[in-house]
Structure 1
Amino acid sequence: MENTMRQWLEIVLAVCLMMAGLHGVARAELPALTTASVPASEATLTYMNRDVVVFRASLAGVTPEKRVKRAERRLADHERTGDTEVVGQVPIAISTQQGIGITLNDTFLFTLLPEDRDPEDGRPLSALADGVVVALKDALAARHAQADPANLIKGLLFAGLALAAIALAVLLLMRLRHWLAIRLQRQVLHRLEANMPWLSYLAQVLERLVQILVALVCIALGYLWVTYALAQFPLTRPFGDQLGNFLLGLLGNMAMGVVRALPDLITLAIILLITRALTQSVKALFDAVQEGRVQLPGLYRETVGATRRLVNIAIWALGITFAYPHIPGSQSDVFKGLSVLFGFMLTLGSAGVVNQLMSGMTLVYSRALRKGDLVQIGETMGVVEEVGTLSTRVLNLYNEVITIPNSVVMSNQIRNYSRQEEGQGVMVGCKVTIGYDTPWRQVEAMLLNAAKGTPGLRNTPPPCVLQRALSDFYVEYELMVTLADTKARPFVLTRLHAEVQDEFNRYGVQIMSPNFRGQPDGGAVVVPQEDWYKAPAAPPSRPVIPE
Structure 2
Amino acid sequence: MVGKSLAVLMIGFSLFWSVASWAQDAATAPEPAAAELKIANRSIMVFRSALLGETPETRVKRAKTAINEALDDADDPRVSLDAIQTSYLVLIGSKRAFIVSPKDVDASEFESVRQAADSAADNLRQVVSETQEARNFRLILRALAMAALATGIYVALLWGMAFLRQRMLRKLPELMHRHTQALKVGRVQVIDANYLYPLVSRLLGVLRWLVVLLLTYEWLGFVLSRFPYTRPWGESLNNYLLEVFAYLLQGIVGAIPGLGVALAIFFIARGATAFSRRILRRMAMPGTFSWLNQETLQPTQRLTSLAIWLFALAMAYPYLPGAGTDAFKGLSVLIGLMISLGASSVVGQAAAGLILTYTRTLRPGEFVRIGEYEGTVTELGMFTTRIRTGLGEVLTLPNSMITGTVTKNYSRTVQGAGYVVDTVVTIGYDTPWRQVEAMLLEAARRTSGVLEDPPAQVFQTALSDFYPEYRLVAQAIPSQPRPRAVLLSMLHANIQDVFNEHGVQIMSPHYLGDPQQEKWVPKDKWYTAPAQPPQEL
Provide TM-score, normalisation by structure 1.
Answer: 0.75
Whether the 8 Å CA contact 1:393–1:404 is kept in 2: the answer is yes
Residue 263 of structure 1 corresponds to 257
1:215 to 186, 206, 214: 206
What is the deviation of 1:368?
Answer: 0.6
* Structure 1 CA distance for aligned equivalents of residues 461 and 286 of structure 2: 48
What is the deviation of 1:356?
Answer: 2.0
Whether the 8 Å CA contact 2:366–2:419 is kept in 1: the answer is no
Residue 357 of structure 1 corresponds to 350
Q: Is the counterpart of residue 225 in structure 1 residue 219 in structure 2?
A: no
Whether the 8 Å CA contact 1:437–1:525 is kept in 2: the answer is yes
Distance change (3 Å), C-alpha of 1:449 and 1:293 = closer
Residue 518 of structure 1 corresponds to 513
Deviations 1:244-278 (A, max 9, x none): 22222222223223333333322222211111100
Distance change (3 Å), C-alpha of 1:85 and 1:394 = farther
Provide TM-score, normalisation by structure 2.
Answer: 0.76
Alignment of 1:234-313 (within 5 A): 234=227, 235-288=229-282, 292=285, 295-313=288-306
Distance change (3 Å), C-alpha of 1:196 and 1:413 = farther
Whether the 8 Å CA contact 1:146–1:152 is kept in 2: the answer is no
Residue 503 of structure 1 corresponds to 498
Whether the 8 Å CA contact 1:112–1:129 is kept in 2: the answer is no
Could you tell which deviates more after superposition, 318-327 or 176-185?
A: 176-185
* Structure 2 CA distance for aligned equivalents of residues 513 and 181 of structure 1: 80
2:92 to 102, 106, 125: 102
* Structure 2 CA distance for aligned equivalents of residues 357 and 447 of structure 1: 45
Whether the 8 Å CA contact 2:180–2:189 is kept in 1: the answer is no
What is the deviation of 1:367?
Answer: 0.8
Letter in 2 for 1:318: F
What is the deviation of 1:222?
Answer: 0.5
Whether the 8 Å CA contact 1:228–1:240 is kept in 2: the answer is no
SS at match of 1:540: coil
Residue 9 of structure 2 corresponds to none
* Structure 2 CA distance for aligned equivalents of residues 144 and 422 of structure 1: 111
Whether the 8 Å CA contact 1:117–1:128 is kept in 2: the answer is no
Whether the 8 Å CA contact 2:423–2:473 is kept in 1: the answer is yes
Letter in 1 for 2:260: I
* Structure 2 CA distance for aligned equivalents of residues 188 and 378 of structure 1: 52
Deviations 1:457-477 (A, max 9, x none): 212221222222233332322
* Structure 2 CA distance for aligned equivalents of residues 298 and 457 of structure 1: 33
Could you tell which deviates more after superposition, 128-137 or 275-284?
A: 128-137
1:391 to 365, 380, 384: 384
Q: Is the counterpart of residue 165 in structure 1 residue 160 in structure 2?
A: no
Distance change (3 Å), C-alpha of 1:180 and 1:267 = farther
* Structure 2 CA distance for aligned equivalents of residues 232 and 334 of structure 1: 39
* Structure 2 CA distance for aligned equivalents of residues 249 and 215 of structure 1: 24
Letter in 2 for 1:138: E
Q: Is the counterpart of residue 136 in structure 1 residue 117 in structure 2?
A: no
* Structure 2 CA distance for aligned equivalents of residues 184 and 295 of structure 1: 55
What is the deviation of 1:431?
Answer: 1.8
* Structure 2 CA distance for aligned equivalents of residues 384 and 127 of structure 1: 85
Q: Is the counterpart of residue 529 in structure 1 residue 520 in structure 2?
A: no
Whether the 8 Å CA contact 1:163–1:225 is kept in 2: the answer is no
* Structure 2 CA distance for aligned equivalents of residues 396 and 75 of structure 1: 99
SS at match of 2:223: coil
Whether the 8 Å CA contact 2:88–2:117 is kept in 1: the answer is no
Whether the 8 Å CA contact 1:87–1:137 is kept in 2: the answer is no
Alignment of 1:402-413 (within 5 A): 402-413=395-406
1:444 to 437, 442, 445: 437
The root-mean-square deviation of aligned C-alpha atoms, in Å, is 4.4
1:343 to 336, 345, 368: 336
* Structure 1 CA distance for aligned equivalents of residues 64 and 345 of structure 2: 75
What is the deviation of 1:67?
Answer: 3.8
* Structure 1 CA distance for aligned equivalents of residues 179 and 118 of structure 2: 73
What is the deviation of 1:411?
Answer: 0.9
Gaps of 5+ in 2: 1-31
What is the deviation of 1:137?
Answer: 0.9
* Structure 2 CA distance for aligned equivalents of residues 189 and 94 of structure 1: 82
Residue 494 of structure 1 corresponds to 489
* Structure 1 CA distance for aligned equivalents of residues 295 and 392 of structure 2: 25
Whether the 8 Å CA contact 2:63–2:98 is kept in 1: the answer is no
SS at match of 1:438: coil
What is the deviation of 1:410?
Answer: 0.8
SS at match of 1:315: helix
1:87 to 65, 72, 77: 77
Whether the 8 Å CA contact 1:288–1:294 is kept in 2: the answer is no
Deviations 1:288-307 (A, max 9, x none): 556x4894452122211221
SS at match of 2:269: helix
SS at match of 1:404: strand
* Structure 2 CA distance for aligned equivalents of residues 188 and 369 of structure 1: 45
* Structure 2 CA distance for aligned equivalents of residues 501 and 216 of structure 1: 80
Distance change (3 Å), C-alpha of 1:465 and 1:214 = same
* Structure 2 CA distance for aligned equivalents of residues 192 and 399 of structure 1: 32
* Structure 2 CA distance for aligned equivalents of residues 157 and 174 of structure 1: 26
What is the deviation of 1:144?
Answer: 4.9
Could you tell which deviates more after superposition, 120-129 or 428-437?
A: 120-129
SS at match of 1:394: strand
SS at match of 1:232: helix
